[in-house]
A and B are shown apart, each in its own frame.
Chain A
Amino acid sequence: MSEQTELMDFDKAIELFEPVLGFEVHVELNTKSKMFSDAPNPASAEGEAAAQEPNTMVTPVCLGLPGSLPVVNEQAIRFSISLGLALGCEIAPSSRFARKNYFYPDLAKNYQISQYDEPIAHDGEVSIELADGRSFRIQIERAHMEEDAGKLTHVGGSTGRIQGADHSLVDYNRAGVPLVEIVTKMITGTEGSAPEVARAYVSAIRDIVLALGISQARMERGNLRCDANVSLSPRGSGKLGTRTETKNVNSLRSVERAVRFEIQRQAAILHGGGTIVQETRHWHEDTGMTSPGRPKSDADDYRYFPEPDLLPVEPSKELIDELRAALPEPPAVRRKRLKEAWGFTDLEFQDVVNSDLLVEIEQTVAAGATPAAARKWWTGEIARIANADGVDAASLVTPAQVAELSKLVDSGELTDRLARQVLEGVIAGEGSPAEVVQKRGLKVVSDDSALIAAIDKALADQPDILEKIRGGKVQAAGAIIGEVMKQMRGQADAARVRELVLERAESLR
């Protein structure tokens, strides 16, 4: 499939075509129970672990058993309204659910309960900022509530993909997880910044839902999923191009790459005289390409109609006011506040914003780390590993883990070097920092007697150096410190070793 994909140079593509973007972002809400059933929610903090075992978090409603009926989760309504308000949307005085009818084995009832012509929120706006400080306003068309589908596992194919599979298996744990789908209006004028705008937009949505506390928002786990619509309009033609919808884009980095790829791919086709097929495309993280999925056709007749098992949602003005009052501050205000509170320089702060780590650092500080340490870890070592692995830094460790690590360094239990080893262990899934310290035996040797023994031995082995130190050449202590640190396999605090070396050199006189 992808071998023949021709790409046009990105700059040239932008020269010839104007990119037009649109996004559908699905946010899994972290309510305790599901959208329409009292089954525990696998997208909640409590539910994540239990969801590993298939079909353990289901009720007759999740399985769409005959006779079962949906009942709306009140918290999901509150979260949806809060999200709508945070997106600057109007909240509909009356909205209702509709059935979207289509057959697919992961969809238990063979219809999805969604919202159609009366979404709960509409007409909003999100401001985003690019790395160079330019800002864009993204218009939100609507945000509506719906339910997630189950998970399919494809068996018997070479790749675990749907193509070539012998059969598939269905786990309905995820079926019925509450979702809010946020749909943008058409986004024009991004020009060559289109990929960065895409990333910044999804990042902004992620910041908003994290600040609201309504989703786990882990893209790699599918808590936040982005479908990117891309079309190209030939310069000067005034005509809109045919769009493709790229699905399965599950990291911020991929959002940027997928949009760039689609622009280059479509430009090459159009420039070669071809036409774009209106279709769903799938993003492949490994190859960095998109591949064609199902073509859109007239057969997509979803036969929407008002869900007769559910009643209209008519939030009172009091409820909306209550939720509006509880909204976190707007992103710009928040950034200003955090920058001052943390005492970062302009450059340091811009670095944090550009790496999409504001929320992580904020949460790390809240968990007890100093702002400087939090920034150092996230934009330093963690970002470096994320970059090397091609994943988002936030997917590697949690803010709580980073804070714990940082505290271990502050208390002198770990050196910086040891802490980096502990971080590796945490990322490898060996447990919390304390557990990794335990398992790997990485504690700083703070027992002076062990250090003194090693120092005395080193000094005895190198009498010339001892002489130099005694002669006032303090720099000479470096060789001894190095030797001792080596003996201690790095598990000693170098500053303490230095103190002790100088002490011993005197006392051995």
Chain B
Amino acid sequence: MAEELVALSAAELSEKLQSKEVSSVEVTQAHLDRIAEVDSQVHAFLHVSADALKAAGEADGARKLGAKLNPLAGVPVAIKDVLCTSDMPSTAGSRILEGWIPPYDATVVARLRKARMVPIGKTNMDEFAMGSSTEHSAYGSTRNPWDFERIPGGSGGGSAAAVAAFEVPLALGSDTGGSIRQPAAVTGTVGMKPTYGGVSRYGAIALASSLDQIGPVARTVLDAALLHDVIGGHDPRDSTSLTEDWPSFAEAAKAGIAAGSLKGVRLGVVRELGGEGFQTGVSARFQEVIELASKAGAEIVEVSAPSFSYAIAAYYLILPAEASSNLAKFDSVRFGLRVNPPGGGTVEQVMAATREAGFGPEVKRRIILGTYALSAGYYDAYYGSAQKVRTLVQRDFASAFEKADLLISPSAPTTAFKFGEKLEDPLAMYLNDVATIPANLAGVPGLGLPMGLAAEDGLPAGLQLMAPARQDAKLYSVGATLETLLEANWGGSLLARSPMGKALRATESEKGAQS
């Protein structure tokens, strides 16, 4: 029973909860047990909530009273540690915030609670979301459930791995340059970076304010859409939050599943997001998806986005610049770590000693880089130029979207690499974000979903769909159609073929045989 519950999608759990076939307490307990069982190996969680069962009980209580509940009421959800939670430590994977419990909830967290979802814990991440592997977490790396020797992607490797390891059906992530989509790609899961402003950033510990976006992490497109419906929408506490009324993303995903066809959809293949630098097995799977989509009625067009080749450069100027300023608040005065230099010192020396001890090497690297990019005499050449590249990237998107309804590409150039492989070569690590960064620079939404296993290593490869700003619903409908077609080919979900997925099924059938 418990194994069965953790293998279910959020949508399936939702049905069972609504029909009162299971209680939220049962569902939550099953997931807590699963975490207790596997997380010592996966290390997806930095903190497991002591109040999860209480929240589950309250959701059950509300249901008993006949309250009209959100479809996800009673469903457990994990929260990336970049988000402020008033009942759990919020460290952003950094030593400098060790043990810090914020006196407030992030808006998205408050919305989870309001929907009576069950926050089950906080997930691991690269320190302050800087990285593509979780190797930059101050609390140890998360392992990829497909292969414990490999990275789960980053920065949101914890959320992706938790979902891939069936520790939780849903999680929240944050995506500044691919931190939701790249982990989804390498763990065979689904992740969505909404339109900039579509989901509130209030209470998300900022990396780069003009790039950060909170989004859902799940095992299916429909689950991601259900969670997006809970967290999305205007928040007056975030000035960059969009005010429009959004359609139901879950309805869009359901329509996509039902459609079974991509007739009338123009899919644009971005010339610059493929070819050289992309792993053979990734490119092969991508070609198959294109053929599949074409067979399903989609019109495939090739589009060019020449300025995308400058996107990484622009990104690694804008991000460090904004981050260097955003991270200045970690100064040992109001919260977090304080390190006094030997023999004491002035407040300036205490701040410098604290930041030296509290920040990891990648954070220091980017703060120094950002400080340089903004400093007198360099601003125009670096930060100023990067902001102009941003304009060019937006123009490329605009012209591409004249020819295509959605753009399609691999989410990441490679499958999961091994721990340590790129740790000493920051530039190589940065190149991992080549396909995901343009969407952040332009603020457009991007959906990542599995597209199969690369032949050479048997590891998942990820597909990315991008839409014009504010057309997130289109991603869910087309994404759900593609997912349905792919799973029909595979004869089930990709994750079911992962070692952990197989083990779970084996235990289930064993139990089934016993009973």
**Which positions in A face B, CB cutoff 8 Å?**
60, 63-72, 99, 101, 103, 105, 108-111, 168, 170, 172, 301, 303-305, 308-311
Known contacts: A63-B334, A101-B328. The answer to whether A309 contacts B209 by CB under 8 A is yes
A69–B201 contact, CB under 8 A?
Answer: yes
Bound: A67/B91 CA distance, A: 11
Output the nearest chain A residue to B105 by Cβ-Cβ distance.
Answer: A67
Contacts of A305 in B (CB 8 A): 321-322, 325, 374, 379, 383
Known contacts: A66-B329, A67-B106. The answer to whether A311 contacts B205 by CB under 8 A is no
B329–A311 contact, CB under 8 A?
Answer: no
A67–B202 contact, CB under 8 A?
Answer: yes
Output the nearest chain B residue to A305 by Cβ-Cβ distance.
Answer: B374
Known contacts: A67-B83, A67-B102, A305-B321. The answer to whether A109 contacts B329 by CB under 8 A is yes
Bound: A203/B145 CA distance, A: 71
Known contacts: A65-B103, A67-B205, A103-B331. The answer to whether A301 contacts B376 by CB under 8 A is yes
| Closest beta carbon of chain A to B481's beta carbon, Å | 36
- Could you write out 20 A-B pairs with CB less than 8 Å apart? A65-B334, A66-B329, A67-B104, A67-B106, A67-B202, A69-B237, A71-B237, A99-B325, A103-B348, A105-B347, A108-B329, A109-B328, A111-B328, A170-B333, A303-B371, A303-B375, A305-B321, A305-B322, A308-B208, A308-B209
Known contacts: A103-B351, A168-B347, A305-B379. The answer to whether A67 contacts B239 by CB under 8 A is no
Contacts of A101 in B (CB 8 A): 324-325, 328, 374
A67–B334 contact, CB under 8 A?
Answer: no
Bound: A68/B328 CA distance, A: 14
| Closest beta carbon of chain B to A406's beta carbon, Å | 47
Known contacts: A101-B325, A103-B348. The answer to whether A64 contacts B203 by CB under 8 A is no
Chain B 98-112: CB-based contact to A (< 8 A → 1; otherwise 0): 001011101000000
Bound: A66/B102 CA distance, A: 8
| Closest beta carbon of chain A to B66's beta carbon, Å | 36
- Within 204-260 of B, Cβ neighbours of A (below 8 Å) are at 204-206, 208-210, 236-240
Q: B-side binding surface: helix, strand, loop or mixed?
A: loop
Judge whether B148 is part of the interface by a CB distance below 8 angstroms: no
- Contact-residue size bin, chain B (C-beta under 8 Å from the other chain): 35 or more
| Closest beta carbon of chain B to A211's beta carbon, Å | 32
B239–A309 contact, CB under 8 A?
Answer: yes
Chain B 380-396: CB-based contact to A (< 8 A → 1; otherwise 0): 00010000000000000
Judge whether B92 is part of the interface by a CB distance below 8 angstroms: yes
A60–B103 contact, CB under 8 A?
Answer: yes
Bound: A52/B331 CA distance, A: 26
| Closest beta carbon of chain A to B326's beta carbon, Å | 8
Contacts of B236 in A (CB 8 A): 71
Contacts of B240 in A (CB 8 A): 309, 311
Contacts of A108 in B (CB 8 A): 329, 334
Contacts of A303 in B (CB 8 A): 324-325, 371, 374-376, 379
Contacts of B184 in A (CB 8 A): none
Contacts of A109 in B (CB 8 A): 328-329
| Closest beta carbon of chain A to B320's beta carbon, Å | 12
A71–B103 contact, CB under 8 A?
Answer: no
A110–B205 contact, CB under 8 A?
Answer: no
Output the nearest chain B residue to A298 by Cβ-Cβ distance.
Answer: B376
Bound: A64/B100 CA distance, A: 14
Bound: A200/B379 CA distance, A: 40
Output the nearest chain A residue to B201 by Cβ-Cβ distance.
Answer: A69
Judge whether B490 is part of the interface by a CB distance below 8 angstroms: no
Output the nearest chain A residue to B109 by Cβ-Cβ distance.
Answer: A67
A66–B84 contact, CB under 8 A?
Answer: yes
A310–B102 contact, CB under 8 A?
Answer: no
| Closest beta carbon of chain A to B307's beta carbon, Å | 21
Judge whether B493 is part of the interface by a CB distance below 8 angstroms: no
| Closest beta carbon of chain B to A421's beta carbon, Å | 48
| Closest beta carbon of chain A to B21's beta carbon, Å | 38
Judge whether B97 is part of the interface by a CB distance below 8 angstroms: yes
Contacts of A172 in B (CB 8 A): 334
Bound: A304/B376 CA distance, A: 9
Judge whether B90 is part of the interface by a CB distance below 8 angstroms: yes
Query: Of B335, B348, B383, which one neighbours A66 at CB under 8 angstroms?
Result: B335
Output the nearest chain B residue to A60 by Cβ-Cβ distance.
Answer: B104
Output the nearest chain A residue to B321 by Cβ-Cβ distance.
Answer: A305
Bound: A308/B201 CA distance, A: 12
| Closest beta carbon of chain A to B248's beta carbon, Å | 27
A308–B322 contact, CB under 8 A?
Answer: yes
B204–A67 contact, CB under 8 A?
Answer: yes
Contacts of B104 in A (CB 8 A): 60, 65, 67
Known contacts: A60-B104, A67-B202, A70-B239. The answer to whether A110 contacts B374 by CB under 8 A is no
Query: Of A70, A99, A105, A310, which one neighbours B331 at CB under 8 angstroms?
Result: A105
B371–A68 contact, CB under 8 A?
Answer: no
Chain B 322-355: CB-based contact to A (< 8 A → 1; otherwise 0): 1011001111011100000000000110010000
B383–A308 contact, CB under 8 A?
Answer: no
| Closest beta carbon of chain A to B208's beta carbon, Å | 8
A110–B331 contact, CB under 8 A?
Answer: yes
Query: Of A65, A71, A170, A304, which one neighbours B335 at CB under 8 angstroms?
Result: A65
Bound: A386/B103 CA distance, A: 47
Bound: A133/B203 CA distance, A: 58
A66–B205 contact, CB under 8 A?
Answer: yes
Query: Of B102, B351, B374, B375, which one neighbours A65 at CB under 8 angstroms?
Result: B102
12 new A-B contacts, CB < 8 A, other than A66-B330, A105-B331, are: A67-B202, A67-B203, A67-B205, A69-B237, A69-B239, A71-B239, A170-B333, A303-B325, A303-B379, A305-B374, A308-B210, A309-B240
Contacts of A105 in B (CB 8 A): 331, 333, 347
Residue of A108, A301, A308 with most partner-chain B CB within 10 A: A308
Output the nearest chain A residue to B322 by Cβ-Cβ distance.
Answer: A308
Bound: A99/B206 CA distance, A: 15
Bound: A310/B371 CA distance, A: 21
Bound: A109/B333 CA distance, A: 10
5 nearest interchain CB pairs? A110-B328, A303-B374, A308-B209, A308-B210, A67-B203
| Closest beta carbon of chain B to A443's beta carbon, Å | 53
Known contacts: A64-B329, A101-B328. The answer to whether A69 contacts B376 by CB under 8 A is no
Query: Of B204, B239, B325, B335, which one neighbours A311 at CB under 8 angstroms?
Result: B239
Query: Of B92, B202, B321, which one neighbours A68 at CB under 8 angstroms?
Result: B202
Bound: A304/B347 CA distance, A: 23
Bound: A72/B238 CA distance, A: 10
Bound: A64/B204 CA distance, A: 13
A69–B210 contact, CB under 8 A?
Answer: no
Query: Of A67, A111, A170, A311, which one neighbours B84 at CB under 8 angstroms?
Result: A67
Bound: A168/B374 CA distance, A: 31
- Within 94-148 of B, Cβ neighbours of A (below 8 Å) are at 97, 100, 102-104, 106
Bound: A374/B371 CA distance, A: 57
Output the nearest chain A residue to B210 by Cβ-Cβ distance.
Answer: A308
A66–B202 contact, CB under 8 A?
Answer: no
| Closest beta carbon of chain A to B165's beta carbon, Å | 27
Output the nearest chain A residue to B335 by Cβ-Cβ distance.
Answer: A65
Bound: A183/B347 CA distance, A: 31
| Closest beta carbon of chain A to B79's beta carbon, Å | 12
Bound: A101/B236 CA distance, A: 26
Contacts of A310 in B (CB 8 A): 239
Bound: A304/B237 CA distance, A: 24
Output the nearest chain A residue to B334 by Cβ-Cβ distance.
Answer: A63
B202–A69 contact, CB under 8 A?
Answer: yes
Contacts of B203 in A (CB 8 A): 67-68
Bound: A31/B210 CA distance, A: 29
Output the nearest chain A residue to B330 by Cβ-Cβ distance.
Answer: A66
| Closest beta carbon of chain A to B82's beta carbon, Å | 8
Bound: A50/B328 CA distance, A: 30
Bound: A192/B295 CA distance, A: 89
Output the nearest chain B residue to A168 by Cβ-Cβ distance.
Answer: B347
Contacts of B100 in A (CB 8 A): 66
A64–B321 contact, CB under 8 A?
Answer: no
Query: Of A64, A71, A99, A304, which one neighbours B334 at CB under 8 angstroms?
Result: A64
Bound: A277/B104 CA distance, A: 47
Residue of A99, A168, A304, A305 with most partner-chain B CB within 10 A: A305
